[in-house]
Amino acid sequence: MSVTIHPAERLKKLPPYLFAEIDRLKREARAQGKDIIDLGVGDPDLPTPAFIIEELYRAAKDPANHRYGLDAGMPVFREEIASWFEQRSGVTLDPQKEILPLIGSKEGIAHLPLAVVNPGDVVLVADPCYPPYKSGTWFAGGEVSLMPLEEENGFLPDFEEIDASALKEAKLMFLNYPNNPTAAVAPIDFYERTVEFARRHDLIVASDAAYSEMTYDGYKAPSFLEAGGAREVGIEFHSLSKTFNMTGWRVGFALGNAEIIGLLAKIKSNIDSGIFQAIQYAGIKALRDGRESLRNHIAIYQERRDILVEGLQKLGWKVTRPKATFYVFAGVPSGYTSAELVAKLLKDAGIVTAPGNGFGPNGEGYIRFALTVSKERLSEAVQRIKQLK
């Protein structure tokens, strides 16, 4: 006789994970013999640069790297992160206290609430958003309060519109620029207002900058930590996943306030045993020598962006050319909900996209395209959409 399995209450709060549902629909369509153009999940189709793979291979052959990785990451990796960030943003960080390598930034984002949120505390989450901001909060017993992102405000939250009762109990705020799914960017003066707001309301700020290096047309995304006083109120998450096409490698890092970094490190020391050291050496190589490959990849994504945006605009779609990320957040033509349009594109055109409301209620009225297929396939996607009735 089998035991009765009761899911934990925290799991009951979770909606179906968006990308898992997209993957299910995609598999069903392929099983029916359809030629699928997958613009749904943001997983780079470009390979990890060869020089990074070669460094992994070199380091993996060394038996010294076969043991547990250090929980806080190798000192040489933290030092390289500090050097990269200072060159990038002009901000000097203490590698020992203000930098923490992560098994992908998603892991750190999901674990942060366990370090700073008590049951019943409120976490402010911009909406639509990357789902782990919410799930990490719920796993920690916290309550999510949404900050709507509206196109007329540049998809930036309006701090003055935050519910007063939620703000009174708020302990943490998640922000994400360049943004997933909207592809919006944040100017430095927004971060300066954020620091002032956080100080006034005694809030920790968590800035997710996973797409900070994926910028176009000469635009450079500022770091939250460039704002005066930012290190007094928060931390920033970075990832090698999108920057160097290393999504499967699972390597990222958190930067900023030493006390918050220390609390997150304490959570991690009780959950994981660090990053495989050979991957850390590959991460060092990526940060040190990856600028040229990044420029080449950005040029590829920019060409893809222009093909899709210009194609959709010619068909009458409401689309803004993004300055960053490899996403295009398109307004849904009249007569459809987000989910209805996604279903139609998959059924009638064999195109996988992501419904805006899958990222939160304020994403309704939009769908997200990921630029993770060749320019030829993007051109074909535009032609398939043109033929829809």
Give me the domains of the chain, ranges plus CATH numbers.
Answer: 9-47+292-386 (3.90.1150.10), 62-290 (3.40.640.10)
Token pair for 195: 């620091």
* 157 band by pLDDT with thresholds 50, 70 and 90: very high
pLDDT digits (tens, 9 = 90+) for 340-389: 999 899 989 999 999 999 999 999 999 999 999 999 999 999 999 999 86
Query: Coil, strand or helix: which one is 114?
Result: helix
Predicted pLDDT at 61? 98
Please give the Cα distance from 83 to 72 (Å, whole number): 17
Predicted pLDDT at 25? 76
Predicted pLDDT at 27? 84
Would the pLDDT of 32 be above 90? no
Closest CA relative to residue 249, chosen from 212, 280, 207: 280
* The dihedral sign for the CA sequence 187, 192, 193, 194: positive
One-letter amino acid of 328:
V
pLDDT digits (tens, 9 = 90+) for 259-293: 999 999 999 999 999 999 999 999 999 999 999 99
User: What share of the chain has pLDDT > 90, as a percent?
Assistant: 87
Q: Over the chain, what is the mean pLDDT?
A: 95
- DSSP character for 64? G
* 90 band by pLDDT with thresholds 50, 70 and 90: very high
- DSSP character for 122? E
Q: Using an 8 Å Cβ cutoff, are 204 and 168 in contact?
A: no
Predicted pLDDT at 331? 96
* 18 band by pLDDT with thresholds 50, 70 and 90: low
Q: Using an 8 Å Cβ cutoff, are 226 and 196 in contact?
A: no
Would the pLDDT of 55 be above 90? yes
B/e letters for 221-260, b = 16+ CB within 10 Å, e = fewer, are bbbbbebeebbebbbbbbbbbbbbbbbebbbbbbbbbeeb
Predicted pLDDT at 222? 98
Predicted pLDDT at 6? 86
Predicted pLDDT at 19? 65
According to DSSP H, which parts of the chain are helical?
9-12, 18-31, 50-60, 75-89, 105-116, 132-139, 164-169, 188-201, 230-233, 258-269, 277-289, 291-314, 338-349, 375-386
* 60 band by pLDDT with thresholds 50, 70 and 90: very high
Predicted pLDDT at 285? 98
* 50 band by pLDDT with thresholds 50, 70 and 90: very high
* 11 band by pLDDT with thresholds 50, 70 and 90: confident
Q: Using an 8 Å Cβ cutoff, are 282 and 55 in contact?
A: yes
Kindly list the distances between the CA atom of residue 382 and the CA atoms of 10, 275, 326, 385, 387, in Å, as whole numbers in the listed order: 41, 41, 17, 5, 9
Which tops the pLDDT comparison, 10 or 66? 66
Closest CA relative to residue 171, chosen from 146, 202, 135, 196: 202
Please give the Cα distance from 67 to 275 (Å, whole number): 10
Please give the Cα distance from 99 to 260 (Å, whole number): 10
Question: Do the bridges between strand 170-176 and strand 122-127 make them parallel or antiparallel, or are there none, so unpaired?
Answer: parallel
Predicted pLDDT at 245? 96
Please give the Cα distance from 196 to 231 (Å, whole number): 12
Backbone φ, ψ for residue 85 (5° rounding): -70, -35
Which tops the pLDDT comparison, 19 or 315? 315
Would the pLDDT of 302 be above 70? yes
